[in-house]
Copies of this chain bind each other. A is one copy, B any other.
């Protein structure tokens, strides 16, 4: 990436965060609705803290007299830092009224000023790497900001809307679900080349894959309702033991954000309460629900490497955050005729895989995030492909998203697979 391109990217990503926050009332920045979520102002402060801590204040970057030597707001370290960076967090992030939103934006502006000054000059290679990681890190928080807000608003009896979705919902009846066959053999997986990738996508290595089939599109709300109507949530034998327990503990009877209305369901969206669209992909299901659905369909979830080898040849294109719909859309009409491969691999919803999140052979934690990507390699499952809340430039075929199997508040959905 050239220095000009880096400057551009920095401005663009930082501006996108601010634009995502624009529809919020001050009150919306302050609270969160569960420990897994963070208040919006924390996302804004934390992504700035990143650049201050790992770039501006990094040893040797700005020298003795630089910003790094005299922290912008020393007390923000405890508030916006994380334990992986050695920060001890003793407060409840969801119960902090200060710093105010204005103060957080002011902090953000000062970090941006210092960063802009830095990026004007000659930037050493290792510093550029840190900036690039910081931008990916911020994009990740853009998606989480929206998922956290959606959860927050969904719990409010007033059912507030974040904003009207732009554009018109596309698509009518979904194309029929087919299975697309893939040959087995040795496949190279993991990040190739020198473009940006997290350490957990490396090293690129070979996997032996048996012939398999992949669903031609995502599972729809309509298909998921069939599962529900045939007793899917009450049939113990369809569920993993931990899933059965999570279902009971959470009182699950439908995907998160489905609200029973008369005989049917409405769906809470970032545009408020909406009728459920049968043709649209089901979203806000846990791994456990995806797995039970697949078993009910006499199928299974794809392994992450099956997914990756199927996606490797496709262009990274789909309904991402920039589309502005903020909800998954029905499979495109193109899929009705002609499209030989699976559609919707990228965008719409993160696709649960059958793969536990584990290190690749020869994995070496590296960079600023090495520690934290490696430390979560227990008890989590891999998802692939990005969602309607994901910035388009954030995703690639080798990207591994990671969640606990009972997580439901992010835009997670289902593609099924079976042996070839």
Contact = CB atoms under 8 A, between A and B. Distances in A.
Interface in A388-420: 405, 419
A241 B239 CA distance: 27
A378 B30 contact: no
Give the interface residue-count category, chain A: 35 or more
A367 to B, nearest CB: 14
A4 interface: no
A29 B27 contact: yes
Contact of A208 (B31, B186, B377, B419): B186
A366 interface: no
A204 interface: no
Contact of A379 (B32, B157, B186, B242): B242
B362 A419 contact: yes
A158 B240 contact: no
Interface stretch (A124-132, A193-201, A257-265, A351-359): A351-359
B75 A158 contact: yes
Nearest to A37: B95
A324 interface: no
A376 B240 contact: yes
Contacts of A152: 95, 97
A361 B32 CA distance: 41
Nearest to A419: B362
A374 to B, nearest CB: 8
A94 B95 contact: yes
B240 A378 contact: yes
A339 interface: no
Interface string A284-308: 0001100000000000000100000
A314 interface: no
Contacts of A354: 358-359
A25 B79 contact: no
A205 interface: yes
Given A97-B152, A156-B96, A239 B375 contact: yes
A375 to B, nearest CB: 4
A370 to B, nearest CB: 10
Interface string A230-272: 0000001101111110000000000000000000000000000
A208 B419 CA distance: 19
A32 B243 contact: no
Given A100-B27, A356-B358, A378-B243, A155 B92 contact: yes
Interface in A26-68: 26-33
B158 A25 contact: no
Contacts of A98: 25, 27-28, 156, 158, 160
A330 to B, nearest CB: 31
Interface string A198-227: 000000011110100000000000000000
A97 B28 contact: yes
A99 interface: yes
A91 interface: yes
Nearest to A99: B158
Interface string A317-333: 00000000000000000
13 contacts: A25-B98, A27-B30, A27-B100, A28-B98, A30-B30, A31-B97, A83-B236, A90-B157, A94-B94, A94-B95, A210-B362, A240-B377, A354-B358
Given A244-B375, A362-B419, 4 more contacts: A30-B31, A94-B95, A239-B375, A242-B376
Interface of A: 25-33, 75, 78-79, 83, 90-92, 94-101, 152-153, 155-158, 160, 186, 205-208, 210, 236-237, 239-244, 287-288, 303, 354-356, 358-359, 361-362, 371, 375-379, 405, 419
